[in-house]
Amino acid sequence: MGIAEKEIKKFENHNCAENAVFYQAMEEVIYSIAPLLESDEKYIKYAILERLVVPDRIIKFKVTWLDDNNKIQVNTGYRVQFNNALGPYKGGLRFHPTVNEGILKFLGFEQILKNALTGLPIGGAKGGSDFDPKGKSDFEIMKFCSGFMTELHKYIGARMDVPAGDIGVGAREIGYLYGEYKKITSTYEGVMTGKPFFFGGSLMRPEATGYGAVYFTESMLEIEGKEPLTGKICTVSGAGNVALHAIEKLQQIGAIPVSCSDSKGTLHDARGLDLKLLKEIKLKRRGSLQEYVKSHSEAKYIPVDEYPQDGHPVWDIPCYAAFPCATQNELCETDAKNLITNGCVSVTEGANMPSRPEAIELFLSHKICFAPAKAANAGGVAVSEFEMSQNASMSRWSFEKVDTKLKETMQMICKRVALTAKDYGVEGNYVDGANIAGFKKVADAMIAEGI
């Protein structure tokens, strides 16, 4: 039995239905870092894995709120404060009916290593609720956010734990959450990031994750000696904050993004997407992608109930580069086979853990340039840290300054990941490179800080 299998065996008790995605994320990391564990016994001696896979604390609370019919509604809220070896707990909030402790543990665990890769002083956390923002009025969203913050405010602080957005939590929700925090505590401080610009948000935070994923891809393709994205067909999944800004940056650099998807269906516009219309539908109207084909009849819309039995139609579109930007485990083995057969050269994870392990294995064995989430989508949290920095100094950075720093950060992460992979004998494997580089940084801090 190898060192990875031995370590994984220790955590078998974590492997239950609710923890499935957490266990998946943990297993990947342990396999990746095996060469590091073998090369230096201190990580085993100081029981780093045992300490890292258990969150510092999980806060679980009840959220009660009144809907528009004055009916009392009850939801569950969570904050998983995972690890603060490198800085205050930092990570987003997800509002989605599927949210449970296991999903937030997976996201919080990934966040520790992602945040370490940025080189910025931020620890890892995640939180959220099973509240479904879909179909709710603005007042209902506001009332839910107030109820959520009534509990959460006790556990967060600008130097303690700084939440931000994730699925279902954008500038509107952050605004209401932050407003409630301010009302309760009477303090105006950088306790949340992703705030609207006019009351303390950073320019470019909304764009940061999508733009950052494209910057990472440009850097990776250059390092790997592949052709740049300009003029190339790209496929994107998702139609939220990350997906739409990845599409925007791809268009800005002259690539041709042709697809996106939401929870109801997939859109394919072979001439290149009309981003202005997409933003109008998804961000302003919070509508369905189906509306797109009303004004672009050449585009193809496939509703979910017409999807094939196996695989997602978005990954069956021939492309040079693919950007899964919707949610975890959205890209399966069949999708990976389809992408490879159709000549795809690079896959960049904008979402957190969108590719299933079997898909990743295929990408790596077929020498596809594969950019794992914790490296490729770190631009969002990096700009969140820039927002914390601006808030702490009561200053404002220009769009150009943030953009330059974001680009530098993504290039730095990409180079560090590529170099780490080379150092540990797995050149070109950005999964192992990211896991080893992130883990080493956090583990060394944990050792230096004592138990």
Give min distance, CB of 240 to ligand NDP, in A.
Answer: 2
Stretch touching ligand NDP by CB under 6 A, among 49-57, 144-152, 173-181, 350-358 = 350-358
Per CB under 6 A, 168 contacts ligand NDP = yes
Centre a 10 Å sphere on the Cβ of residue 276 and count the other Cβ atoms it contains.
8
One residue of 220, 242, 375, 443 binding ligand NDP per CB under 6 A: 242
Rounded to whole angstroms, the Cα distance separating 360 from 366 reads 10
Q: Which does 90 bind (CB under 5 to 8 A by kind): ligand 2IT, ligand NDP, none?
A: ligand 2IT
Q: Which is nearer to ligand NDP, 115 or 209 (CB)?
A: 209
Structure tokens at 43: 């990580």
Give min distance, CB of 265 to ligand NDP, in A.
Answer: 9
Q: Which is nearer to ligand 2IT, 65 or 78 (CB)?
A: 78
Q: Which is nearer to ligand NDP, 246 or 446 (CB)?
A: 246
One residue of 19, 75, 115, 209 binding ligand NDP per CB under 6 A: 209
**Positions in the binding site for ligand 2IT (CB under 6 A):** 90-92, 111, 114, 164, 166, 193, 352, 380-381, 384
Give min distance, CB of 210 to ligand NDP, in A.
Answer: 8
Rounded to whole angstroms, the Cα distance separating 227 from 260 reads 23
Q: Which does 167 bind (CB under 5 to 8 A by kind): ligand 2IT, ligand NDP, none?
A: ligand NDP
Per CB under 6 A, 352 contacts ligand NDP = yes
One residue of 377, 409, 420, 429 binding ligand NDP per CB under 6 A: 377
Q: Which is nearer to ligand NDP, 43 or 211 (CB)?
A: 211
Catalytic residue among 90, 114, 126, 249: 126
Q: What is the 3-state secondary structure (H, E, C) of the chain?
A: CCHHHHHHHHCHHHCCHHHHHHHHHHHHHHHHHHHHHHHCCHHHHCCHHHHHCCCCEEEEEEEEEECCCCCEEEEEEEEEEEECCCCCEEEEEEECCCCCHHHHHHHHHHHHHHHHHCCCCCCEEEEEECCCCCCCCHHHHHHHHHHHHHHHHHHCECCCEEEECECCECHHHHHHHHHHHHHHHCCCCCCCCCCCHHHCCCCCHHHHHHHHHHHHHHHHHHHCCCCCCCCCEEEEECCCHHHHHHHHHHHHCCCEECEEECCCEEEECCCCCCHHHHHHHHHHCCCCHHHHHHHCCCCEEEEHHHCCCCCCHHHHCCCCEEEECCCCCCECHHHHHHHHHCCCCEEECCCCCCECHHHHHHHHHCCCEEECHHHHCCHHHHHHHHHHHHHHCCCCCCHHHHHHHHHHHHHHHHHHHHHHHHHCCCCCCHHHHHHHHHHHHHHHHHHHCCC
Give min distance, CB of 89 to ligand 2IT, in A.
Answer: 10
One residue of 24, 100, 263, 411 binding ligand NDP per CB under 6 A: 263
Q: Which is nearer to ligand NDP, 146 or 241 (CB)?
A: 241
- Select from 319, 316, 382 the least CA-distant residue to 348: 319
Q: Which is nearer to ligand 2IT, 299 or 402 (CB)?
A: 402
Give min distance, CB of 311 to ligand NDP, in A.
Answer: 14
Give min distance, CB of 325 to ligand NDP, in A.
Answer: 6
Determine whether 126 is an active site residue: yes
Structure tokens at 156: 């967060």
Q: Which does 264 bind (CB under 5 to 8 A by kind): ligand NDP, ligand 2IT, none?
A: ligand NDP
- Select from 442, 448, 450 the least CA-distant residue to 36: 442
Stretch touching ligand NDP by CB under 6 A, among 21-29, 61-69, 321-329, 428-436 = 321-329
Q: Which is nearer to ligand 2IT, 107 or 281 (CB)?
A: 107
Give min distance, CB of 108 to ligand 2IT, in A.
Answer: 10
Per CB under 6 A, 380 contacts ligand NDP = yes
Rounded to whole angstroms, the Cα distance separating 337 from 339 reads 5
Residue with tokens 């896979």: 53
Per CB under 6 A, 262 contacts ligand NDP = yes
Give min distance, CB of 435 to ligand 2IT, in A.
Answer: 16
Per CB under 6 A, 239 contacts ligand NDP = yes
Q: Which does 141 bind (CB under 5 to 8 A by kind): ligand 2IT, ligand NDP, none?
A: none
How far, rounded to the nearest angstrom, does the alpha carbon of residue 166 sit from its chain's CA centroid? Answer: 7
CB 303 within 8 A of CB 283: no
Q: Which does 193 bind (CB under 5 to 8 A by kind): ligand 2IT, ligand NDP, none?
A: ligand 2IT
Q: Decide the pairing of beta strands 259-261 and 256-257.
A: unpaired
One residue of 128, 163, 175, 240 binding ligand NDP per CB under 6 A: 240
- Give the interface with ligand NDP as residue ranges (CB under 6 A): 165-168, 209, 238-243, 262-264, 325-327, 350-352, 377, 380
Catalytically annotated residues: 126
